[in-house]
Amino acid sequence: MTELFDEDRASWGYVPNFTRTFALRPDVYRAWQQLLTAIKSTMDGRRYELATVAAAASSFSTTARPPRWTTPSAPWWPSPRSSHGTPTFGSRG
């Protein structure tokens, strides 16, 4: 575990949170590093950063609120529209 921390501290200047997360599974961390290296080797840095931001934004928009068709039909779940027609949580409007 300290080997991972020392390596990342040397390259990043600090220990990132993802290193702490992977610390219990160093084999998975190494595989993840290999995957990132393989992906980055086929594109320039700008394209990689744009793809990363787009993926993060896409992930946020799908996890922040569920689409209308996955909204559970439960009495405690807010309805897609309030009584006055304004979209509410769980609705894409």
pTM over 0.75: no
Tokens standing for residue 91: 């609705």
Residue 93: its pLDDT value, please? 47
CA angle, 9 then 29 then 45, to 5° = 70
Asked whether 78 and 88 are in contact (CB, 8 A), the reply is: yes
Tokens standing for residue 46: 């700008």
pLDDT in tens, the chain (93 residues): 788 899 889 988 999 998 888 988 999 999 998 998 998 898 898 998 888 888 887 766 555 555 555 555 555 555 555 555 555 555 554
CA pair distance 69, 42, nearest whole angstrom: 37
Tokens standing for residue 77: 């779940």
